[in-house]
């Protein structure tokens, strides 16, 4: 007979030997201690264990069943996720005509059965078993190492040969619980997605509704990897759960939204920046993971060569001028700026930033969040910032001519200004500012240096091994095959630590352009960025690809990785 939800108070009153006050007291204690109600009533002496189970079984219509040494088919066990079975002490013993028969030693847990029935789409029937038998069966069919693995049923939605690979992946998961009492399946599933992303060092989680499935992808070391996703029918529930966590309007599905989630996972405090975008098959969701414990890096951690690091430290000690960091989205510009601010963040200097958004809150720095909806733009915020008498100003990005003009004025009036631009190389930032309408003589006077940067993946230290590069690779780094034998080249073989990619983590490669007198003259003459680059190289500038090759020769990355993120240098 199926278990029907029923209020415990009504059931206990129907037993006939418990007073209303005793029931009320037991329920009150249960809410505080989370202890099982039956045990509370036994400890209080309100019931005894000789006849209570028989009376409960009669009231519920549940019969006892002998389950000792029972053999359960794997397809039946797979109907119940391990974490749910252990959390509620239930185990499936039969599956017939869309009905799962569950053995349990706790017949009071009606709500869990009802919710679980809705989630799986199965009818639930229950039988009572002894605590020892249930415990033995749980240990036998749900070993302890799998006890925290949610939603194994995800695998059934993956076609063909991919099922085995997906099953292996799920078995390897060690997912932190975001809250101890998060047992609802969709809540646990979202926690799974976030927890595994944290474990795999992902920077982003992409939840993308497609026509026939809900695709989940993690961006790890700058590369997107698809992972097993939940069934398409859970799309709405998963997206709604994320929007609730980010304090978004779950009823608004026609317009893009932005939100933020703050959680603790794997022992670390994390900020998740959430963005939704309406698409033809549902809302696409991206969660950017910001790890507070590792976001702020020292200058030595960025990847500068010893020579460039010393030059960069001198730049940070300058009293005025503009220091620009350029590169595409995801190239680590913000990390470099934060590391720079952290280096000069001293009690004798006032630092103010204006950002969109404020990705990390830094102690001792006044940080301003851009809010275009109330006309607090970069330009408007900068005007007010200048009246605050700062020593150092950081502008998240120079997006328009007005912001560029104010930034230059600030640098010329005695402020050190940090900012970013989206250009492919350092010389390109000069022509970009001039194209925005800034006078060449102002660009030449205000800018002190420009840093272009990219992020390349580091070779996994666990599977790092020597190899012989091909002729094409040697040609790229301008070495002959005979000369290469005196140099050791490395690559990652692929192991469990790096998920078979051969890479683990990323380091920066940099192109540092100083505004020498000769280059200032070229800027004033409005020459092309190519001419500026040639003269900068004559003055000692190392290009992005050249800096990448240096890191290849140090055994930090591979030739193919440097080729992937850099363009061919001019001769």
pLDDT digits (tens, 9 = 90+) for 135-145: 888 888 887 54
Strands (E), 280-345: 282-291, 321-326
pLDDT at 217 over 90: yes
pLDDT for residue 197 is more than 50: yes
CB 137, CB 70: distance < 8 Å? yes
Burial of 236 (0-12, 13-18, 19+ CB in 10 A): middle
Helix (H/G/I), strand (E/B), else coil: 354? strand
pLDDT tens digits along 101-124 = 888 877 655 545 655 565 566 777
528: part of which helix (H) or strand (E)? none
Secondary-structure percent of the chain, ordered helix, strand, coil, rounded to 5 = 40, 25, 35
Q: How confident is the model at residue 472 (pLDDT cuts 50, 70, 90)?
A: confident
Q: How confident is the model at residue 167 (pLDDT cuts 50, 70, 90)?
A: very low
Per the structure block, which two tokens stand in for 19?
């007073």
Q: What is the phi-psi region of residue 131: left when phi exceeds 0, alpha when psi lies from -120 to 50, beta otherwise?
A: alpha
Q: Which residue has the higher pLDDT, 546 or 267?
A: 546
**Cα(199)–Cα(314) distance, rounded to whole angstroms?**
38
Structure confidence at residue 539 (pLDDT):
87
Mean pLDDT of 163-170: 36
To which residue do tokens 């909806």 refer? 373
> Which of 28-42, 198-212, 430-444 has the lowest average pLDDT?
28-42
Q: Cα 79 from chain centroid? A: 30
Region for residue 479 given its phi and psi (left: phi exceeds 0; alpha: psi -120 to 50; beta: otherwise): beta
What does the alpha-carbon distance between residue 271 and residue 261 come to, in Å, rounded to a whole number?
6
| Per-residue model confidence (pLDDT) at position 38 | 64
At 325, phi and psi to the nearest 5? -115, 125
pTM strictly above 0.85:
no
Phi, psi of 435 (to 5 degrees): -65, -30
Residue 114's CB is within 10 A of a number of other CB atoms, namely 14
Bridge partners of 326, per DSSP, are 421, 452
């Amino acid at each position: 007979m199926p278990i029907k939800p029923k209020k415990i108070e009504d059931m206990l009153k129907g037993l006939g030997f418990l007073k209303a006050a005793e029931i009320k007291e037991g329920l009150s204690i249960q809410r505080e201690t989370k202890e099982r109600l039956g045990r509370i009533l036994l400890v209080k002496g309100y019931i005894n264990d000789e006849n209570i189970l028989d009376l409960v079984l009669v009231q519920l219509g549940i019969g006892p069943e002998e389950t000792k040494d029972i053999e359960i088919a794997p397809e039946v066990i797979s109907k119940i996720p391990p974490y749910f079975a252990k959390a509620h002490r239930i185990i499936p013993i039969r599956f017939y005509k869309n009905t799962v028969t569950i053995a349990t030693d706790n017949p009071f847990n009606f709500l869990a059965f009802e919710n679980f029935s809705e989630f799986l789409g199965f009818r639930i029937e229950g039988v009572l078993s002894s605590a020892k038998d249930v415990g033995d069966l749980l240990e036998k069919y749900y070993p302890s190492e799998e006890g925290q693995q949610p939603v194994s049923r995800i695998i059934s939605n993956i076609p063909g040969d991919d099922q085995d690979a997906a099953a292996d992946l799920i078995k390897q998961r060690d997912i932190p619980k975001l809250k101890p009492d998060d047992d609802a399946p969709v809540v646990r599933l979202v926690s799974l997605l976030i927890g595994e992303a944290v474990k795999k060092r992902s920077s982003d989680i992409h939840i993308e509704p497609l026509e026939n499935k809900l695709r989940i992808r993690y961006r790890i070391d700058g590369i997107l990897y698809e992972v097993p996703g939940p069934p398409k029918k859970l799309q709405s529930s998963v997206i709604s759960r994320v929007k609730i966590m980010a304090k978004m309007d779950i009823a608004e599905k026609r317009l893009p939204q932005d939100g933020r989630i703050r959680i603790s996972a794997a022992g670390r405090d994390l900020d998740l920046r959430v963005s939704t975008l309406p698409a033809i098959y549902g809302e696409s969701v991206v969660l950017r993971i910001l790890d507070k414990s590792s976001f702020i890096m020292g200058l030595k951690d960025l990847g500068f060569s010893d020579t460039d690091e010393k030059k960069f430290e001198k730049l940070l000690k300058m009293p005025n001028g503009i220091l620009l960091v350029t590169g595409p989205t995801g190239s680590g510009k913000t990390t470099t700026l934060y590391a720079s601010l952290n280096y000069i963040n001293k009690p004798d200097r006032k630092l103010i930033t204006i950002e969109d958004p404020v990705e990390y809150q830094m102690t001792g720095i006044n940080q301003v969040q851009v809010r275009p909806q109330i006309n607090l733009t970069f330009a408007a915020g900068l005007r007010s910032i200048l009246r605050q008498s700062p020593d150092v100003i950081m502008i998240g990005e120079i997006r328009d001519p007005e912001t560029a003009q104010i930034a230059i004025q600030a640098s010329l009036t005695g402020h050190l200004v940090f900012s970013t631009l989206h250009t492919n190389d350092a010389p390109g930032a000069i022509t970009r500012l001039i194209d925005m309408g800034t006078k060449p003589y102002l660009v030449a006077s205000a800018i002190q240096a420009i840093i272009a940067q990219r992020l390349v993946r580091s070779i996994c230290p666990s599977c790092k091994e020597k190899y012989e590069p091909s002729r094409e690779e040697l040609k790229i780094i301008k070495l002959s095959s005979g000369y290469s034998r005196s140099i050791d080249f490395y690559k990652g073989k692929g192991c469990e630590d790096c998920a078979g990619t051969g890479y683990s983590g990323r380091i920066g490669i940099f192109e540092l352009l100083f505004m020498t007198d000769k280059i200032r003259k070229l800027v004033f003459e409005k020459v092309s960025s190519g001419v500026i680059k040639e003269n900068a190289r004559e003055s000692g500038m190392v290009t992005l690809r050249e800096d990448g090759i240096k890191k290849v020769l140090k055994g930090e990355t591979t030739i193919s990785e440097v080729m992937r993120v850099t363009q061919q240098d001019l001769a």
